[in-house]
A = this chain, B = another copy of it.
């Protein structure tokens, strides 16, 4: 029962075109320089554990729902146009994503910001809208999930070394 919302969250990501193994590749590329024996499977496991957190699930589901409702043009103007265009000064998509990063301590902010600017790997596909549709919240959420998995990995690995 405990994992019900976790499964719904992963399903919601899948339906928006997100493949979790693509995210684990991003985490691997960011962390392998610090953890030479790292594997993509370990990164995948950290992403699953991030998605197990209730606060993370709420942020992911809310963000994806906003994107979908914006695709159906259900927001009032001027908000509808702001979300659709992913306007640079909007900021609410970043705030929602930060509620994910927050859960893993402050070291995640750097990785989140870097990912959000560089849009590496699959994240860039959603930002440049190759998939079509509105992904204003989704691309920030993917950055946040990856940054949180990096933080979780760093904390676990270093705690082991202590």
Tell me the A residues contacting B by CB distance below 8 Å: 1-2, 4-5, 8, 12, 34, 53-55, 58-59, 61-62, 65-66, 68-69, 74-76, 78-79, 82, 88-92, 94-96, 98-99, 102-107, 109-118, 154-155, 158-159, 162
Q: Which residues of B contact A61 (CB under 8 A)?
A: 76, 78-79
Q: With contacts A91-B55, A95-B96 known, is A118 near B114, CB below 8 A? A: yes
Q: Report the nearest B residue to A5, measured CB to CB.
A: B78
Interchain CB contact (< 8 A) of A162 among B2, B58, B106 = B2
Q: Can you tell how many copies of this chain the complex includes?
A: 4
Q: With contacts A109-B109, A113-B113 known, is A89 near B54, CB below 8 A? A: yes
Q: Is the interface of A mostly helix, strand, loop or mixed?
A: helix
Cβ A92 vs Cβ B162 within 8 A: no
A151 to nearest B CB, angstroms?
9
Q: Which residues of B contact A5 (CB under 8 A)?
A: 78
Interchain CB contact (< 8 A) of A107 among B68, B88, B104, B154 = B88
